[in-house]
Amino acid sequence: MQSFDVVVIGAGAAGMMCAAEAGRRGRSVLVLDHAAAPGEKIRISGGGRCNFTNLHAAPANFISANPHFCISALRRYTQRDVIALVDRHGIAWQEKTLGQLFCDGSSRQIIDMLLAEMGRAGVTLRLSTRVDSVERDADGFVLALAGEATGPVRCQSLVVATGGRSIPKMGATGFGYDLAARFGLKVTETRPALVPLTFEPALLERLKPLAGIAVDAAEIGSGRTRFREAMLFTHRGLSGPSILQISSYWREGQEIEVSMLPGTDVFEWLRGARAASGRRALHTVLAEALPKRLAQAIADAEGAAGNLADLSDKVLRRVAEAVNGWRVRPAGSEGYRTAEVTLGGVDTVGLDSRTMEAKAVPGLYFIGEVVDVTGWLGGYNFQWAWSSGWSAGQAV
């Protein structure tokens, strides 16, 4: 039977980082993946340019039943370490908005970087290989494999880096959660996150004409959480960065608050416009700050088609409310089909925050998205994959 110090299941961001680091420390490492290519989510990430980290990544940007769990790993392998690695590989990058770092070229460069790091560290990669079963004995773990490379393998340390449930079309499975449960670890409830929100049919019908309209900086709130980023009306409901962000906090049955001109007192603005030039139409004035079609739709919906001079304070207040105080109850989300990540996962109470090792199962590690640590949109999820992967790579 072939034997390795470390077997990593999952050749994604976390698994490859962990393998490279463990190999660099002199461990013999095998990485297994059932997919035909490594790093498929990296490839499609960031619109093909991989938003590989965020300059401002900090524990506050992560959601978990234990918000403190991520602190240690994020401190041990930071965004500056990621930037240094990317720079060493000569990958050009740029900061877009809000500290988000993207490749100038293609996300393929990040995959090549990880493959090069693994190659240099002597890591073996086996693709198109399924793990059929995992057994534990006094010497470690024995994995039964199926696929291109069959025959069991043995290892001292087993790292589970199989990601979350999002995008099942790309091979996402519940494998990591099932394995955790089999070894007695708790798994918190999982749900799609960073996902567009949908409306019920009647509301959708009313808002259909707005599909495709983007608002540059909408503020979306759910409870005490608020995000100010772009918002997009879609054929199913709402999307865009601000909506994806709030989707990680929103729960079924709750309303979200939408402010399309945050920071503007819309009533006072319209009153001023009425006093200055009452012969202008409301939608013309609104279109100075909002997309034309949206401005027209708001004016129509509030029955405020005429000139400003003809509109009472009461009507202007209603319009202001529609712009900055729209409360809407999404019917649901687009689900794992389009969700960028999975909220929840392997419960951190069972894991060591410095090493990612299962406290009750020495030698078993969980890293990346399979763990109950979920980042905001903006490069945070890859940062968690790098930080948790590197931390485990130091320990295995």
Task: Decide whether 162 or 324 has the Cβ nearer to ligand FAD.
Answer: 162
| Contact residue for ligand FAD among 123, 134, 161, 290 (CB under 6 A) | 161
> Cα–Cα distance between 336 and 369 in angstroms, integer?
14
User: What's the closest the beta carbon of residue 152 comes to ligand FAD, in angstroms?
Assistant: 15
Q: Does 368 bind ligand FAD (CB under 6 A)?
A: yes
CB atoms within 10 A of CB 9: 24
Q: Does 369 bind ligand FAD (CB under 6 A)?
A: yes
Phi, psi of 76 (to 5 degrees): -75, -35
Q: Does 21 bind ligand FAD (CB under 6 A)?
A: no
Helix, coil or strand: residue 235: coil
| Strands annotated E in 163-252 | 191-193, 197-198, 214-222, 225-233, 237-239
Task: Decide whether 4 or 269 has the Cβ nearer to ligand FAD.
Answer: 4
In DSSP terms, 136 is beta-bridged to: 141
Q: Does 179 bind ligand FAD (CB under 6 A)?
A: no
Mask of contacts with ligand FAD, 320-349, x by CB under 6 A? --------------------xx--------
Q: Does 51 bind ligand FAD (CB under 6 A)?
A: yes
Q: Does 13 bind ligand FAD (CB under 6 A)?
A: yes
Q: Does 41 bind ligand FAD (CB under 6 A)?
A: yes
> Cα–Cα distance between 218 and 258 in angstroms, integer?
7
User: What's the closest the beta carbon of residue 223 comes to ligand FAD, in angstroms?
Assistant: 24
Q: Does 15 bind ligand FAD (CB under 6 A)?
A: yes
Length of the chain: 396
Q: Does 385 bind ligand FAD (CB under 6 A)?
A: yes
Picking from 372, 102, 396, the residue whose alpha carbon sits closest to that of residue 384 is: 372
CB atoms within 10 A of CB 225: 14
* Closest chain position to ligand FAD (CB): 12
User: What's the closest the beta carbon of residue 115 comes to ligand FAD, in angstroms?
Assistant: 13
User: What's the closest the beta carbon of residue 344 comes to ligand FAD, in angstroms?
Assistant: 13
User: What's the closest the beta carbon of residue 327 comes to ligand FAD, in angstroms?
Assistant: 29
Roughly how many angstroms between the first and final C-alpha of the chain, as a whole number? Answer: 21
Q: What is the DSSP string of 86-137?
A: HHHTT--EEE-GGGEEEESS-THHHHHHHHHHHHHTT-EEE-SEEEEEEEEE
Task: Decide whether 24 or 43 has the Cβ nearer to ligand FAD.
Answer: 43
Picking from 382, 328, 343, 334, the residue whose alpha carbon sits closest to that of residue 195 is: 334
User: What's the closest the beta carbon of residue 224 comes to ligand FAD, in angstroms?
Assistant: 24
Task: Decide whether 222 or 383 has the Cβ nearer to ligand FAD.
Answer: 383
| Contact residue for ligand FAD among 6, 7, 8, 11 (CB under 6 A) | 11
Q: Does 103 bind ligand FAD (CB under 6 A)?
A: no
In DSSP terms, 350 is beta-bridged to: none
Helix, coil or strand: residue 384: helix
Binding site for ligand FAD (CB under 6 A): 9-15, 32-35, 40-41, 44-46, 50-51, 130-131, 161-163, 166-167, 171, 173, 175, 340-341, 368-369, 379-382, 385
